[in-house]
Chains A and B, each alone.
Chain A
Amino acid sequence: MLHGYGGHILRVDLTSEQIRREKTDPDYMLNVIGGRGLNSTRLYEELERDCDPLTPENMLLIGVGPLTGTLLSASAFMTISGKSPLTGILGDSAAGGFFGAELKLAGYDQVVMTGRCEKPCYLYIADDHVEIREASHLWGKDIWQTTAAIRKDLNDNAVQVAAIGPAGENLVKYATVACNNSRMCGRTGMGCLFGSKHLKAVAVRGRGRLTVADTLGYLDLCRELDQKIMTHPEYKKRNALGSTLLMKALNGIGILPTDHFQQGLCGYVDRVSGETLAEKFKVKNKSCFNCNLHCSRYYLSGEVEAEGPEFETLCSYTSRIGNNDLEFGLKMNAFLNRMGLDSLSSGETIGWAMECVQRGLLTRDDFDGLDFTWGNCQTVEKLLGMIIRREGIGNLFAEGTRSLARHFGKGTGEYAFHVKGLDMICGDPRGIKAFGLTYAIASRGGDHLRAEPFFELTERYDEAEKRWGIREIADRLSDNGKAILVEHTERQALLTDCLTMCKNIGLSMDMLDFDFASRLLTAGTGLKFTPEKLDDALKGVIDKDRKMNIDFGVTADQDTLPRRFTHEPLKEGASKGQVVPVGRMVKQYYKAKGWNDQGVPQE
């Protein structure tokens, strides 16, 4: 008997409405683990590489980890994967909440969707019962309305729903999928992929129960992790503020994106910080399934109430676009969550436009008369509506920053801060060199979560020497040894994603190492996940991702950062004078990976 795992792979062809349940193969899982590793491998094996992401040939996968839904703290995530409509390369995005555990309880490790429904529909999974249901009455509704309407339709408030909003329906390239109203699969446009398949939502109800192989051994390991989380030195702060603690923390080290990365210091940070949010608007903690950190928050502001925001949204809609009005940021968080639009990518298009106007490269006339001065909230609100409806200039913005800058030309591309088409996250890489390398090489584009090399921020010099023999790895401003760090944490990050566990806990709080994970997986599933076996699986998946991306057209010269971060030193603050020597770091990274000098994995 297969423990931990749901036991089935669900295949749904939306065109022919053919539904098939396959048994999960334990030998196969030993090589891919689950979650993102499972999704990536499925794409590697089955996806037509040259398909247009918006055609029925593209695949849409939802994967969960082998221990998701069990006692393991923070293993609540699910990963959605496919060829990205935004970037044209590997796309995936994970979210917490309660959907992942529910899918598992229904008996599934992965849902594989292909084709396209003729009419709008949603997929309903209730244990063995799987059905494609019409969703014409839901088309046009926002994510919160859709979630509520499906629960009402099915007369069951415990149904978990992953849905898109109008942005996904209208094929905005960076549309999101959300479960529990506010838990976003935000990046690489998985909501657009849903929309292209006329799939409004996936609803799931699992009435099963999960078993683990070594019940008492597994319980002990989970309790050990619980204790480690509860006694972590940052527990209190993370519990109170969640990721919004980064507003002040990043400002303190001079890398808080301000006015679109022109500065790393924000003069009004106290007005828009996580602390201020907690003091003025938070009413309670929120949590993902079975987590003991409870780092999310529910807030009421003057106009709206919602869960969140996370740091990336908060920063994208405050300092990154020159806005010092926290309440506006909170309003946009709720709005983006309802409409299903990625805050990072939408925020980058806005920041780009504001900087292009500041520099005189573009004017109001280029933007349907919209006034893109820093922090102009009216413009932001109006533009977002236009993007979601693909109206006027919004139609161009809906394609993403890379495409926008190509359209306008005139040197505006220099200010389009993306890597491989994916807009960069909020964290100026000039003061965090390993993160800079991560953005450059990440297999889904400009993003930190592929490696989350948080270790470089910890100043644990002795620990760095012990682990890797290089003290500077704990120094965020040094690039020495960072390729080795990133090579290591990239595997650790993938491991976290394979377990569909939270990165804040697995990586930032440094809770998940290979040895502990191998014991957890073995006790949980009964399969022999030795540390060596895990390492082989992880390296295999990273190589497959790379090969797939090469098939999609990625070349070594795209493993880089926008010019600002490699050539313009930061002007003030604790990272003053810094740039990222990305060229040599990438070369060292290829070497650490055993890839050739063009970044091609060798057999």
Chain B
Amino acid sequence: MITLELAKCSGCSRCEVNCSFFHSGKIGRSGARIKVVKIEDIGIDYPVVCQQCQERYCTKCPEKAIEVGALGQVIVSPTLCTACGACELMCPIGAIELYEEIPLVCDLCGGDPRCVKACTLDAIHDEADVSGAVSLKDFKKSSRGLSPEGKRLSYAMTLSRELRDSWVAERRG
């Protein structure tokens, strides 16, 4: 699973760029399965990506097009998927999103995640055996009605509080 050391992230979006390029040969945030949320007023840059959550909300796919792979990654069947958007709606953090009628979600690049390689600040890691460690239950209710971008923002806002507090403590005592 992709994990993050938030304090090290500069928000450069190299993870996004390389994710999109690896998966499609094209470059653009819309084609990326990891998306950096920028909260400029408080200096936070937060790459949001599938957390392989305990709840696995996205697998409640009406077409049964989504299953979990050996690495804990989400696998979308292109033949079963009807692009109904249920997975996008279900995910509380905006980590799966339709683009050109295909649900895009982190597949760990088959075990060699390009975002990890692309990060020159060592902020993104691929950790084995942490699949299912994260619960997103707390985000489920508050994410209702939000767009994927809105969900990512709200998730990043919540999870960056600790870092913000540490900055304030460090710099303003």
Taking Cβ atoms with an 8 Å cutoff, the residues of A that contact B are: 69-71, 98, 105, 144, 147-148, 155-158, 180-182, 206-211, 215, 219, 230, 280-281, 283-292, 294, 296, 298-302, 305, 307
Contact = CB atoms under 8 A, between A and B. Distances in A.
B14 interface: yes
A283 B171 contact: yes
7 contacts: A144-B40, A157-B38, A157-B149, A158-B29, A181-B40, A286-B43, A289-B13
Contact of A300 (B18, B37, B120, B167): B167
A98 B45 CA distance: 13
A209 B40 contact: no
B30 A69 contact: no
A302 B168 CA distance: 9
B68 to A, nearest CB: 28
B98 to A, nearest CB: 12
Contacts of A71: 17-18, 21, 27
B36 to A, nearest CB: 9
Q: Sorted from nearest, which 9 A-B pairs have the closest CB atoms?
A: A209-B28, A287-B12, A209-B26, A287-B10, A298-B43, A300-B171, A294-B10, A285-B10, A181-B40
Contacts of A281: 171
A496 B12 CA distance: 20
Contact of A209 (B18, B24, B41): B24
A287 B76 CA distance: 33
Contact of B28 (A105, A144, A283): A105
Nearest to B11: A287
Interface string B49-80: 00000000000000000000000000000000
Interface of B: 7-14, 17-18, 20-21, 24-31, 35, 37-43, 45, 99, 120-121, 147, 149-150, 152-153, 167-168, 170-172
B126 to A, nearest CB: 19
Nearest to A285: B10
B171 A301 contact: yes
Nearest to B16: A290
A300 B172 contact: yes
Contacts of B20: 209
Contacts of A299: 171
Given A284-B7, A294-B12, A157 B30 contact: no
A288 B13 CA distance: 8
Majority SS at the chain A contact face: loop
Contacts of B11: 286-287
A70 B28 CA distance: 8
A280 B173 CA distance: 12
Contacts of A305: 42-43
Contacts of B28: 69, 105, 206-210
A505 to B, nearest CB: 13
Given A181-B41, A294-B121, A286 B21 contact: no
A147 B27 CA distance: 25
Given A158-B29, A283-B171, A288 B38 contact: no
Given A209-B30, A300-B172, A294 B25 contact: no
Given A208-B30, A211-B26, A292-B12, A147 B40 contact: yes
A537 B38 CA distance: 37
A299 B39 CA distance: 14
Contacts of B171: 280-281, 283, 299-301
A283 B27 contact: no
A302 B35 CA distance: 32
A157 B151 CA distance: 10
A366 B152 CA distance: 55
Nearest to A305: B43
A144 B20 CA distance: 30
Contacts of A230: 120
A70 B27 contact: yes
Given A285-B10, A286-B43, 15 more contacts: A69-B27, A156-B149, A157-B37, A157-B39, A157-B153, A207-B99, A208-B30, A209-B24, A209-B27, A210-B28, A292-B120, A294-B120, A301-B171, A302-B172, A307-B43
Contacts of A280: 171
